[in-house]
A and B are shown apart, each in its own frame.
Chain A
Amino acid sequence: MTGALLDPFQYDFFVKGLLVATLAGGLCGLIGVYITLRGMSYIGHGLSHAIFGGFAASTLVSVNYYLGAGIWGLASALAINRVTRSRRIGADAAIGVITTSSFALGVALLTRFGSRGPSFDAALFGSIIGVSAADVWALAAISLLAGALIFCNYRALLFATFDPEVADVSGVRVARTDALLMFVLSLSILATLTVIGVTLVAATLVIPAVVARMLTNSFSRMLWLSTLVGASCGFTGMNLSYHLDVPSGTMIVLTGALVFTAVLLGTGGRRLSATAPPGRRPVPAPAASV
């Protein structure tokens, strides 16, 4: 039994994939806290599709994947952020237009010219085949950078997420903080895209954060809990992927869904409404004086 469990560890590609999946899960779990609390889960979903356009374009013109897709993704994120802030059209409509157009362009380019990098299926659903040592180092570097940026901007990110208007008058540069979050989100999606897959990245952003929210009422605890849940789902999902011969992204997401269901049943989901977007938040129930 133990031998069978340890069997995949003899393969170099699996160990690299496991490292990438665990790191990616933890990174998405960390970023996902801000994304879900801001009611931006759809942005994560849309941005992964937008980056797919950059992925296709960069392979077509033989530009480094991280550079090409990264610039594309960041531009898309900033465009979404700008359109959302201008309030001329709804955020959901803005995300829908920008990201699906980019995704459609990516599909068109790959269909017409083919991919010199990861396959179409791998990009959509994730794969650990072909994860190189460079990919592992790139993800480790991005995780470190994202963690450092969040660490150093902890108060600004928290304040701007909780109450942007008051944050603005309290010395927080909210627009800069929002742009920073978009930058970190783009980097994170970029780094995890090939393992998790375009269609499943959003789940790795949302599920760990929602699970963590169900377990705590404290923001700082939610941050590390979500990171831990994300990393655990990445590790477990990758192992299951090998043993069940199912794409890695699929198993990571299914593992997360299983954890979500278990925690939901265990806690009754009493705190789940915390992820409701602004404007649809429940009015607090009058509480008794303490």
Chain B
Amino acid sequence: MSTGTPPRDALVHIEQATFGYDAGPVLDNVTLTVGARAFMGVVGPSGSGKTTLLRLMLRTATPQRGTVTGRPGLSVAYVPQLETVNWNFPVTVSECVLMARSGRALPWPSRQERAEVARVLERLGIAALARRHIRELSGGQQQRMFIARALLRRPQLLLMDEPTTGVDVTSRHDMLHLLAELNAEGVAIVLTTHDLNGVAAHLPELVALHRTVVAVGTAREIISASVLERTFGAPMEVLQHLGMPVVLDHFDAAGHRDRASA
């Protein structure tokens, strides 16, 4: 199926990549292309290799087999999972964002860098929080802070690991609108998510991942009973509501999956 040659507009092309740790492969024979205008969600169960896939794109992990090719000079920024961050670390919001400045290495930022940070914080609606400690922010604000830090690098590709975990519905909506805006401005976005209804269903392109790429397509194509069963290993019921797929998850009183209803 793959020719081994990345498409012309590809920012990152992964070709038959296999990566694993001592316990065995986490990703096996993965082939995937991220285009210059991509707005892509990666869905799959826990342990399916979503974060590892991002690491391959970031080049912080090197596949044992296969290749990862990036466009020369590609600027990539990464927004980590909130759960992995040390929220007690003594930094204010502006100190955290300023970490990404690429100019001089001196402790204090230049006037231009300060102005750039102020502009980005203003755009993300957290300018008033610049002097707050990072722990004093809500989940949505914490995500915005890391997006601000990522934007300071003027990325062509923004990778985000579970960006809506731990944020409320309103913040999730705002986040998706913000990401759509950034994408419209030319930033390619790849994010991982567990949230099929709240996030994945709203994205233009999805990748179903379970150690290997199960399927790539639109939300309507991927959020289907057959693809989800192959990806998550359990039957799921999918309804259509106002043209959007909605995944139903049934549990009995004891918390077990009610397979009869699926």
Interface residue? A213 (CB, 8 A):
yes
**A31 CB, nearest partner CB in chain B, Å:** 16
**Interface membership of B23, Cβ < 8 A:** no
CB distance from B114 to the nearest CB of A (A): 14
Q: Mark out the residues of chain A between 203 and 222 whose CB falls within 8 Å of any chain B CB in the assembled complex.
A: 213, 216-220, 222
- B129/A170 in contact, CB under 8 A: no
- Knowing A165-B60, A287-B135, A290-B137, say if A217 contacts B92 (CB, 8 Å): yes
Q: Does A162 sit at the interface, judged by CB under 8 A?
A: yes
B124 contacts A by Cβ under 8 Å: no
The answer to whether B80 and A163 touch across the interface, beta carbons within 8 angstroms, is: yes
* Identity of the chain B residue whose Cβ is nearest the Cβ of A156 in the assembled complex: B105
| Interface set, chain B 101-143, CB cutoff 8 A to A | 101-102, 105-107, 128-129, 132-133, 135-142
Please tell me which one of the listed residues A152, A169, A271, A285 contacts residue B60 in the complex, with CB atoms under 8 A apart: A169
Partner of B92, one of A162, A170, A218: A218
A155 at the interface (CB under 8 A from B): yes
Candidates A37, A152, A170; contact of B100 at CB < 8 Å? A170
Q: How far is the CB of B44 from chain A (nearest CB, A)?
A: 21
Give chain A interface residues in 11-67, CB to chain B under 8 Å.
Answer: 37
Contact with A along B130-172 (1 / 0, CB 8 A): 0011011111111000000100010000000000001010010
Query: Complex: how many Å from CA A171 to CA B99?
Result: 11
A105 within 8 A of B: no
Shortest A276–chain B CB gap in Å is: 7
Q: When the two chains form their complex, are residues B137 and A287 in contact, meaning their CB atoms are under 8 A apart?
A: yes
Q: Which single member of B58, B76, B107, B135 contacts A151 (CB below 8 Å)? A: B107
Q: Which residues of A contact B83 (CB under 8 A)?
A: 283
Q: Distance (Å) between the CB of A147 and the closest chain B CB?
A: 11
Query: When chains A and B are docked, how far (Å) is the Cα of A273 from the Cα of B90?
Result: 11
B59 touches A289 (CB 8 A): no
Of A158, A169, A222, which is within 8 A of B99 by CB?
A: A158
Q: Of all chain B residues, which has the CB nearest A222?
A: B90
Residues of B in contact (CB 8 Å), total: 44
Q: Which of A154, A219, A290 contacts B138 (CB 8 A)?
A: A290
- Closest B residue to A275 by beta carbon equals B88
Q: Which of A158, A170, A218, A282 contacts B77 (CB 8 A)?
A: A170
Identify which of A152, A217, A219, A287 contacts B105 (C-beta below 8 A): A152
A-facing mask of B68-104, CB < 8 A → 1, else 0?
Answer: 0000000011101011011111111001101111100
Q: Mark A142-185, 1 if CB is under 8 A from B, else 0.
A: 00000000011111101101110111111100000000000000
Across the interface, A159 reaches (CB within 8 A) one of B99, B107, B133, B142, namely: B99
For A217, the chain B residues whose CB sits under 8 A away are 90-92, 133
The answer to whether B137 touches A154, judged by C-beta atoms less than 8 angstroms apart, is no
Q: In the docked arrangement, what's the CA distance between A163 and B105, Å?
A: 17
A274 at interface (Cβ–Cβ under 8 A)?
Answer: yes
Q: Is the CB of B138 within 8 A of A286?
A: yes
Q: Does A6 contact B (CB under 8 A)?
A: no
Chain A residue nearest to B58 (CB atoms) is: A169
Contact of A154 among B60, B87, B106 (CB under 8 A): B106
**Interface readout for B189-212 with A: 1 if CB under 8 Å, 0 if not?**
000000000000000000000000
Contact with A along B43-81 (1 / 0, CB 8 A): 000000000000000111000000000000000111010
Contact B95 A218 (CB under 8 A): yes
Instruction: Give the residues from 249 to 285 in chain A that come closer than 8 angstroms, CB to CB, to chain B.
Output: 271, 273-274, 276, 278, 281-285
**Is A1 in contact with chain B by the CB < 8 A criterion?**
no
A288 proximal to B (CB < 8 A)? yes
A154 near B105 with CB under 8 A, answer yes
**Min CB–CB distance A287 → chain B (angstroms):** 5
**Cα-based distance from A152 to B104 in the complex (angstroms):** 9
Asked whether A276 and B106 contact (CB < 8 A) given A166-B80, A287-B135, the answer is no
Bound CA span A100–B102, Å:
41
Bound Cα distance from A170 to B82, whole angstroms: 18
Q: Could you say which residues of chain B place their CB within 8 Å of the CB of A166?
A: 78, 80, 149
Contact of A219 among B85, B86, B95, B129 (CB under 8 A): B95
Instruction: Known A151-B106, A153-B105, A165-B80; judge A287-B138 contact (CB<8 A).
Output: yes
The contact sample of 18 A-B pairs, CB cut-off 8 A, is: A151-B107, A152-B105, A154-B107, A156-B105, A158-B99, A166-B78, A218-B91, A218-B133, A219-B89, A274-B86, A276-B88, A281-B86, A281-B88, A283-B87, A284-B85, A286-B139, A286-B166, A290-B137
Q: Which 5 A-B pairs have the closest CB atoms?
A: A274-B88, A284-B87, A217-B133, A154-B107, A159-B99
Footprint of B on A, CB under 8 Å?
A: 37, 151-156, 158-159, 161-163, 165-171, 213, 216-220, 222, 271, 273-274, 276, 278, 281-290
